[in-house]
Structure 1
Amino acid sequence: MEFMRIIGLLMSSVALMLGAVGHAQTLPNGIPAKFTPVTSTFDYDRREVDVKMRDGVALHMVLIVPKAAHDAPILLDRTPYGAEKMTSRQESSHGAMLVNPAYAEFLTAGYILAVEDIRGKYGSKGEYVNERPLIGPLNGTKVDHATDAFDTIDWLSKHVKEANGRVGIIGTSYDGMMAAMALVHPHPALKAASPMNPVINTWMNDDDFHGGAFRMTGYDYYFGQDTARGSAGDLWRSAYDDYDTFLRAGSASGFVKSRGLDQIPFVRDLHDHPAYDTYWQGQALETILPKQPQTVPTLWIGSLWDQEDMYGAVAAFEAVSKHDPNHLNHLALGPWAHGGWSGAGDSLGAIRFQSDTGTWFRQHVLIPFLDGYLKSGGQPAQIAPVTAFQTGTNEWQRLPSWPVACDSGCGTPSRKLYLRENGTLSFAAPTAEGADDYISDPAKPIPYRQRPIRGTDAPGSTWRQWLVDDQRAFSDRPDVLTYQTEPLEAPLALAGAPVADLVASTTGSDGDFVVKLIDLYPDEVPEKPEMGGYQLPIAMDILRGRYREGFSQAKPITPNAALTYRLTLPNVNHVFLPGHRIMVQIQSSWFPLYDRNPQSFVPNMFDAKPEDYRKATIRIYHAPAQASALELPVVAIDTSR
């Protein structure tokens, strides 16, 4: 009996174990069928909406609405970079943490933020066309970015109950171009605009061409942006140093074919339109915008060291200001890189500005400007027509116009600084015959920054700051000519665009000319010893010689002929301080930022063959009848400070 009892107990235990196993297999799902987060402590509502355009295409938009919002203005940013990404930077109960710090300031100031994917990108439907032209000869459809902005603003003004019906449009770079395009036949509810570092003319010294020379770094952008509805990521490399990667590829087309980039329509357009032809002219916003009345108060924002879109803000402001009787347009220039208005702005590379210039600008210029036109009962802020940071003195200025107009008491608006013998510069014209030579070798092009050169977004890249990099690494090369003044005894202020007038010859039938205007620091700087002898670029740019007579048509250069090459440099607002010197450097390559000029004329430089690349001897003249000089926009020094 005892044996049977033990057997029974064992069987009961087994049954219990089997039952336990069976029970484990039917445990309830650990994920609720529906989870409802408790957001009562959130200080915002985040809304996702799809807004239909006039052609039925739905564009995706995210709104960040402060819970305290009432009778609030709306700021709209139309972007190809992902509305979801731009409005979900961190998970937080505070709306200010969802966006970048500058946009957080807008929320704090009482604005509703709306960020919309442009058509064909990320969450928006429709077809994406990079830099979609406005309706006209290049766009035969009935929609463009101007109509999409109109339809979006119409929806916002009618469907956001917390809003006051007033909309402002903002954005940096491509988004800045979207803000500029919204000014073409604008919606009545659009009451203010601020295009920030906008792409205004991508051939005329914004992203893709400078002086006719092609920027090969743009291929990174077009791969990431134009091969996927979202982002395709980074374009792969075959060497750590971009100098090696691009040099081994040969021509620009050689690099394109090695990556399959010729599948991208815009890359093909770049190849097919190397000159400033009707394709580019038809998209030039600085030409399009002034053709209609200026009705929207606009603050154009530019950066003095913008490594991407240096041209657009100033060019647009200057163009529309000629047709702006009500003075609705304003300009701001800060000591920043691309998009630097949104940061602290206290430094750039090794250069310090002695204050948080970005913070000051947003709090004293940008937000007051927006408040005045967008908040109910607001009055236009008393900001100057032009607010510009003067580097050298490191002070903000309130200016009446740009370029700064000189009256009779401020000296000559354009003062010539001449290249002279023995590598000198002088405000006195040359009195003796003279010239300097160098050999430009396409097999050994001059790098545009110190090597190794990393891709624009690669780890360790100095792309953001390279425009203020010390130029000593290049000044002693045998293929770079360097000229300098004696130490200045008095400060010299410039405000505007310097112009280089070079009289030069080449043994080739084509060639490039790079001109750098540099502030050469004293040999020793007591307050910051590491800045002793620093060569700070103030303005630098390039001219492709085939376009010396005009950008719309390429022409060969007559070998060995002394010809004039006129190159307008980027805008400056700078004071050369006493004890500093003015330096000028001249060279014929800037690689791989710009493609190599083969120095023998070919119909399309994108397709240059290895045998086309040839050495050339370049001669820069400084003689009474062949005087090379820089025309400097000299202005009076403000002695009231």
Structure 2
Amino acid sequence: MRIHLLAAAASIALLAGGAQAQSQNPNQQYDERPAELNLSHQGWNYEKRVVDIPMRDGVKLHTVILIPKGAKDAPILLTRTPYNAEGMTGGAGSSANLAEVLQHSDGPADVIIKGGYIRVIQDVRGKYGSEGIYMMNPPPHGTKLNPTDTDDSTDTYDTIDWLVKNVPESNKKVGILGISYDGYLSLTATIDPHPALKVAVPMNPMVDGWRGDDWFHNGALRETNMTYIWEQEATKANSNPWFSTVYDDYDYYLRAGSAGAAAAQHNLGQIGFWKKISEHPAYDEFWQQQAMDKILAGHPLKVPMMLVDGQWDQEDIYGAPAVFKALKPKDVNNDMIYMTMGPWYHGQEVREGSSLGNIDWDQDTAKWWRWHVLAPFLSHYLKGTPMDVAPVTVFQSGTNEWQRLQNWPEAKATDPLYLKPDGGLGFDKAAGPVQTADYVSDPAHPVTYRPRPIPPVYAAGSTWHQWLTDDQRFAASRPDVLTFTSEVLTKPVTIAGQPIVHLHASTSGTDSDWVVKLIDVYPDQVPAKPEMGGYEFPIAMDIFRGRYRESLAEAKPITPDKPLEYTFDLPNADHVFLPGHRIMVQVQSSWFPLYDRNPQTFVKNIFFAKPADFKKATQKVTVSGPNASYIDLPVVAK
């Protein structure tokens, strides 16, 4: 029977004279849908072109180009992304209005529209519409960490080369900008830049995943980001989301045990990037050789750059100031490297910026920055217009005012703020013999990073974006959190720079985490806003994994009950503690479930700590004597 059917089919094809065979479905001719849909663009105020741009190795990258109607000699603003170029430009059902389309693009839509820019968004290789393999934040090509012939720098070069040759409406000048991962991609574009790249604006960029951006903070794993790793690498189009049967992340990760155990439950071991970071818990060559601040410091400055940092960025608070610190000394004419520090959560600078959580700024800070700093900066380098933008534009919280500075940090010296007996805090060291403040840290009951329940970071209803401004009274009431508070201030205390922790402490265990928080305590009564009475507003907070006290690159056990010095930086701050307020410092040994629990027993790799490794420990913080603990505050002299 099969032979007869094949022969009949061959006869039909021959009788048709080589024409295409009829559909196997005899009803196909009655289908009322068109074989290929042609959309009408009548009334659109822009043209959308979709192109697969070939790279030097033949891989094609999916690119969406949005050209304002009537554009001529218009600059190009490029964003490269792993987050779906089609989705960021409205998808198949795009609006006829370019302003509405750009609301999806996670960029400064108002500035782009008014500036008449050609907007280009491209999928990185291996994601969504682009061909090729995918690597998370791929290191420079031709290295041990990336032995391929391409990376994001070469792909950006090839993309810009194609754009300036094939978009006749452009003036052949290109700027690149982006937030988070897209901010990292804006940095890579400047390693070996195309001559047509005239300006870069990396916003909240991923820079160093171990020191203080997405994956670790000073060696402590950001456990809740395991979900991102899964979703980003499991499928090309992020089509297989991480699942959880528990609403409260605290319960989910506590029940799982170690981070490695949680990963095993979710089959995360098949994901390449997870394998890499679980094999590199210390700050070894794997992390050092791909840190963008270190990479860029080894290259000449060729592209003017404005780095954008959110002072309460809950995801990538480390990166922008680190790059500024690395590159600004190379900017001998003070006209290449700029920085903005705004009072924002991750990416809030392109959204509404009047408040963050419960803290009001008395103005739309994001809108002000876009029009007074970003717009003239882009226009200057892409259109040749004059600008009056300071090398550093920073928002001073407390006074709620923007500042124009020549450099950062503003403070030239630091003043020690001492922890004292009985919960005291002040700029004078406590007199008398050595004393300690003690607490018991129990991994079975870790201190949360915010009040429970704690939904997954991007779950419906989550307020993940504002947690760095949460009232810290929920933690101050716990017996495993030490709280030190100053007297009521009679004059303002202004800081502008990075507070540096000098914690002198011991643990009865052989490993320990230390969390230190610098807090502004509001007066007991705030007449205009009674709900803010006594509010404990965090200004700068971070964690340090004690095993790295001697070397970030090598873990070493802690000698039990021996007082040791732990020194680490808190995030940058520009803040005024006002008269009537008090300064507070909190110290604790867990920040869960944002960071994985330290078992407090030294093990080779905490990812794979066993249940028996997790033990209580008595923590003692020195608060008087020659080695009293303190925070070096970058106080601005008045």
TM over 0.5: yes
Question: What's 1:308 paired with?
Answer: 315
Hey, what's the Cα distance between the residues in 2 that align with 1:539 and 1:270?
26
Hey, what's the Cα distance between the residues in 2 that align with 1:417 and 1:27?
82
The answer to whether the Cα contact below 8 Å between 2:411 and 2:495 also exists between their aligned partners in 1 is: no
Residue in structure 2 matching 1:359, options 363, 367, 370: 367
Hey, what's the Cα distance between the residues in 2 that align with 1:27 and 1:500?
75
Root mean square deviation, CA, Å: 1.4
Hey, what's the Cα distance between the residues in 2 that align with 1:516 and 1:405?
20
Question: What's 2:246 paired with?
Answer: 239
Question: What TM-score results when the alignment is normalised by the length of structure 2?
Answer: 0.93
Q: Which deviates more, 309-318 or 617-626?
A: 617-626
Match of 1:485, as an amino acid?
S
Q: Which deviates more, 185-194 or 396-405?
A: 396-405
Residue in structure 2 matching 1:173, options 164, 180, 205: 180
Going from structure 1 to structure 2, the CA distance change for 1:86 and 1:620 (only over 3 Å counts) comes to same
Hey, what's the Cα distance between the residues in 2 that align with 1:133 and 1:35?
41
Matched, 1:339 2:341: no
Hey, what's the Cα distance between the residues in 2 that align with 1:281 and 1:354?
41
Residues 487-531 of structure 1 show CA distances to partners (whole Å, capped at 9, x for unaligned) of: 100111111110110110010000000000000000000010000
1:104 deviation in Å?
Answer: 4.4
Going from structure 1 to structure 2, the CA distance change for 1:627 and 1:619 (only over 3 Å counts) comes to same
SS in 1 for 2:618: strand
Hey, what's the Cα distance between the residues in 2 that align with 1:143 and 1:567?
36
1:324 deviation in Å?
Answer: 1.7
SS in 2 for 1:333: strand
Hey, what's the Cα distance between the residues in 1 that align with 2:35 and 2:503?
74
Going from structure 1 to structure 2, the CA distance change for 1:214 and 1:36 (only over 3 Å counts) comes to closer
Q: Map of 1:565-580 to 2, 5 A cutoff?
A: 565-580=566-581
SS in 1 for 2:585: strand
Matched, 1:396 2:378: no
SS in 1 for 2:371: helix
Hey, what's the Cα distance between the residues in 1 that align with 2:507 and 2:229?
34
Hey, what's the Cα distance between the residues in 1 that align with 2:295 and 2:227?
29
Residues 327-383 of structure 1 show CA distances to partners (whole Å, capped at 9, x for unaligned) of: 3000000000000111111011101001111111011101110000001xx145220
Question: What's 1:6 paired with?
Answer: none
Match of 1:94, as an amino acid?
N
Residues 279-320 of structure 1 show CA distances to partners (whole Å, capped at 9, x for unaligned) of: 111101111101121011100000000000000000001101
1:432 deviation in Å?
Answer: 1.5
Hey, what's the Cα distance between the residues in 1 that align with 2:228 and 2:236?
14
Residue in structure 2 matching 1:262, options 236, 256, 269: 269
Hey, what's the Cα distance between the residues in 2 that align with 1:435 and 1:380?
58
Matched, 1:372 2:380: yes
Amino-acid identity (%) = 51
Matched, 1:272 2:275: no
Question: What TM-score results when the alignment is normalised by the length of structure 1?
Answer: 0.93
Question: What's 2:122 paired with?
Answer: 116
Question: What's 1:195 paired with?
Answer: 202
1:39 deviation in Å?
Answer: 2.0
Question: What's 2:553 paired with?
Answer: 552
Residue in structure 2 matching 1:329, options 331, 337, 349: 337
Hey, what's the Cα distance between the residues in 1 that align with 2:159 and 2:568?
41
Matched, 1:143 2:154: no
Hey, what's the Cα distance between the residues in 1 that align with 2:375 and 2:29?
57
Hey, what's the Cα distance between the residues in 2 that align with 1:599 and 1:531?
37
Hey, what's the Cα distance between the residues in 2 that align with 1:38 and 1:599?
65
Hey, what's the Cα distance between the residues in 2 that align with 1:290 and 1:241?
42
Query: Aligned residue pairs: how many?
Result: 605
1:429 deviation in Å?
Answer: 1.1
SS in 2 for 1:634: coil
Q: Which deviates more, 298-307 or 424-433?
A: 424-433
Q: Map of 1:134-533 to 2, 5 A cutoff?
A: 134-135=140-141, 136-327=143-334, 328-375=336-383, 378-406=384-412, 413-433=413-433, 434-533=435-534
Hey, what's the Cα distance between the residues in 1 that align with 2:500 and 2:37?
65
1:627 deviation in Å?
Answer: 1.1
Match of 1:85, as an amino acid?
G
Matched, 1:91 2:97: no
Hey, what's the Cα distance between the residues in 1 that align with 2:594 and 2:64?
36
Going from structure 1 to structure 2, the CA distance change for 1:152 and 1:416 (only over 3 Å counts) comes to same
The answer to whether the Cα contact below 8 Å between 1:217 and 1:456 also exists between their aligned partners in 2 is: yes
Hey, what's the Cα distance between the residues in 2 that align with 1:104 and 1:150?
27
1:29 deviation in Å?
Answer: 5.2
SS in 2 for 1:367: helix
Hey, what's the Cα distance between the residues in 2 that align with 1:467 and 1:391?
14
Hey, what's the Cα distance between the residues in 2 that align with 1:126 and 1:54?
12
Q: Give 5+ residue unaligned stretches, structure 1.
A: 1-24, 407-412
Question: What's 2:53 paired with?
Answer: 51
Hey, what's the Cα distance between the residues in 1 that align with 2:36 and 2:445?
64
The answer to whether the Cα contact below 8 Å between 1:96 and 1:108 also exists between their aligned partners in 2 is: no
Q: Give 5+ residue unaligned stretches, structure 2.
A: 1-26
Question: What's 1:409 paired with?
Answer: none
Residue in structure 1 matching 2:70, options 68, 71, 78: 68
Hey, what's the Cα distance between the residues in 2 that align with 1:249 and 1:27?
57
Question: What's 1:609 paired with?
Answer: 610
1:32 deviation in Å?
Answer: 4.8
1:107 deviation in Å?
Answer: 2.4
Match of 2:137, as an amino acid?
E
The answer to whether the Cα contact below 8 Å between 2:234 and 2:240 also exists between their aligned partners in 1 is: no
1:421 deviation in Å?
Answer: 1.4
Match of 1:601, as an amino acid?
F
Hey, what's the Cα distance between the residues in 2 that align with 1:455 and 1:430?
43
Matched, 1:562 2:563: yes
Residues 435-493 of structure 1 show CA distances to partners (whole Å, capped at 9, x for unaligned) of: 11000000000011100000011122121100000000110110000000011001111
Match of 1:275, as an amino acid?
A
Question: What's 2:19 paired with?
Answer: none
SS in 1 for 2:327: helix
SS in 2 for 1:623: coil
SS in 1 for 2:178: strand
The answer to whether the Cα contact below 8 Å between 2:516 and 2:588 also exists between their aligned partners in 1 is: yes
1:70 deviation in Å?
Answer: 0.7
Hey, what's the Cα distance between the residues in 2 that align with 1:120 and 1:308?
24
Q: Which deviates more, 498-507 or 628-637?
A: 628-637
Hey, what's the Cα distance between the residues in 1 that align with 2:509 and 2:293?
35
Question: What's 2:4 paired with?
Answer: none
Match of 2:396, as an amino acid?
Q
Hey, what's the Cα distance between the residues in 2 that align with 1:36 and 1:560?
74
Going from structure 1 to structure 2, the CA distance change for 1:625 and 1:34 (only over 3 Å counts) comes to closer
1:30 deviation in Å?
Answer: 3.9
Q: Which deviates more, 304-313 or 423-432?
A: 423-432
Q: Which deviates more, 44-53 or 227-236?
A: 227-236
Match of 1:224, as an amino acid?
E
SS in 1 for 2:227: helix
SS in 1 for 2:634: strand
Hey, what's the Cα distance between the residues in 2 that align with 1:480 and 1:471?
11
Residues 160-212 of structure 1 show CA distances to partners (whole Å, capped at 9, x for unaligned) of: 01000000000000000000011101000000000000001111100011011
Match of 2:342, as an amino acid?
G
SS in 1 for 2:153: helix
The answer to whether the Cα contact below 8 Å between 1:430 and 1:624 also exists between their aligned partners in 2 is: yes
SS in 1 for 2:417: strand
Q: Which deviates more, 347-356 or 83-92?
A: 83-92
Going from structure 1 to structure 2, the CA distance change for 1:38 and 1:604 (only over 3 Å counts) comes to closer
Hey, what's the Cα distance between the residues in 2 that align with 1:122 and 1:36?
23
The answer to whether the Cα contact below 8 Å between 1:97 and 1:104 also exists between their aligned partners in 2 is: no
Going from structure 1 to structure 2, the CA distance change for 1:48 and 1:491 (only over 3 Å counts) comes to same
